[in-house]
């Protein structure tokens, strides 16, 4: 119980630090963010209006108080680019990124267990998977599959087939890293005295997996999966850009291009919240599966 409360407090502190940093960082920049967003030929009146909209004309403590009040009421400010609430835009993009992350992670887990092995072929397959990041696998899939398989869309959301290429591009490198961890753990378990005793006693293999192997392997594997799930939003930036998926990644790229500071802050804060919540959930599940980590 105490460990769970401590983990929750650490997660809240981490998210709070990100929020404060997002509010303070624009004030530390060498150039005025309002001037950059308004453009080179904007008048001082237009720059002042943008500066007020970004709350950069307020003292830091007052800006933090207003931002906290907005968070409590579910508001993240107004997008400079779309002139719409940031929370509304994020609600439209987050389900796309979440669906992409979930499908990719499930596929990566299946591929990872298929790659598990100690043979040279399995090692070469894992190495090839790790050496195939999104910016390599994505264009290759577009170049090969899109020309020969007409029913698979290559851009936008057009039914369930939309997710095939993006999920494969994201899942391949994830599966390589997961398979490495699982293979290393299984190799170490082969030398474990307790497992050899179970084998000599004729304990069924299914029992060995449920009582010994799975709890021993699940901890490191879940740690890697949790880190990957939290970092999938970063991979989604490239994947959604390559395949033109209207998710958080594409919104983040658009906010950077348009110098849309409120949209950028909201997207980063949502990504940080997703990452922190994922790590917290993984820690709880890991403690449930492996009592040694409690």
What are the chain's domains? 1-73 (no CATH), 74-293 (1.10.3720.10)
Please state the length of the chain. 294
Q: Is the pLDDT of residue 125 over 80?
A: yes
The strand pairing partners of 78, in sequence order, are 85
What is the CA angle 222-233-263, rounded to 5? 145
- The pLDDT assigned to 150 comes to 73
Query: Using one digit for the tens of pLDDT, what is the confidence trace for 21-42?
Result: 888 888 887 777 777 777 777 7
pLDDT at residue 291 is higher than 70: no
Which residues sit opposite 166 in a β-bridge?
A: none
Q: Percent of the chain scored above 70 by pLDDT?
A: 81
**How do residues 245-254 score in pLDDT, each as one tens digit?**
888 888 888 8
Q: Which residues contact 17 (CB under 8 A, 6 or more apart)?
A: none
The residue ranking higher by pLDDT, 201 or 178, is 178
Residue 127, pLDDT above cutoff 80: yes
| Residue 70 structure tokens | 């907005």
- Whether residue 98 is predicted with pLDDT greater than 80 in this model: the reply is yes
Q: So what's the pLDDT on residue 201?
A: 61
Query: Is 213 a residue whose pLDDT tops 70?
Result: no
Report pLDDT digits (tens) over 81-96. Answer: 787 888 888 888 888 8
Query: What predicted TM-score, i.e. pTM, was given to this entire model?
Result: 0.74
**pLDDT, tens digit, 9 for 90 and up, residues 199-208:** 666 666 666 6
Is residue 55 predicted with pLDDT exceeding 70? Answer: yes
Report pLDDT for 179.
84
**b/e map 11-26, b = 16+ CB within 10 Å:** beebbeebbeebbeeb
């Amino acid at each position: 119980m105490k460990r769970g409360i401590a983990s929750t407090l650490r997660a809240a502190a981490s998210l709070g630090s990100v929020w404060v940093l997002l509010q303070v960082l624009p004030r530390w920049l060498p150039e005025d963010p309002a001037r950059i967003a308004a453009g080179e030929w904007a008048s001082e009146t237009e720059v002042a209006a943008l500066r007020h909209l970004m709350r950069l004309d307020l003292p830091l403590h007052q800006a933090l108080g207003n931002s906290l009040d907005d968070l409590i009421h579910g508001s993240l400010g107004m997008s400079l680019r779309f002139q719409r609430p940031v929370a509304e835009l994020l609600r439209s993009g987050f389900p796309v990124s979440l669906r992409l992350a979930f499908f990719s992670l499930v596929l990566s887990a299946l591929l990872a267990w298929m790659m598990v092995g100690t043979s040279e072929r399995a090692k070469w397959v894992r190495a090839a998977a790790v050496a195939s990041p999104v910016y390599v696998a994505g264009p290759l899939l577009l170049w090969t599959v899109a020309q020969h398989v007409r029913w698979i869309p290559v851009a936008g959301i057009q039914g369930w087939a939309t997710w095939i290429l993006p999920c494969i591009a994201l899942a391949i490198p994830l599966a390589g890293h997961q398979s490495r961890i699982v293979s290393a753990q299984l190799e170490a378990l082969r030398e474990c005295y307790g497992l050899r005793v179970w084998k000599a006693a004729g304990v069924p293999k299914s029992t060995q997996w449920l009582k010994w192997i799975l709890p021993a392997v699940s901890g490191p594997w879940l740690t890697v999966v949790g880190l990957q799930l939290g970092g999938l939003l970063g991979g989604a930036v490239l994947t959604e850009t390559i395949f033109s998926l209207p998710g958080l990644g594409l919104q983040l790229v658009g906010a950077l291009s348009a110098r849309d500071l409120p949209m950028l802050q909201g997207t980063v804060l949502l990504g940080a919240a997703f990452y922190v919540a994922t790590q917290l959930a993984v820690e709880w599940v890991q403690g449930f599966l492996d009592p040694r980590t409690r």
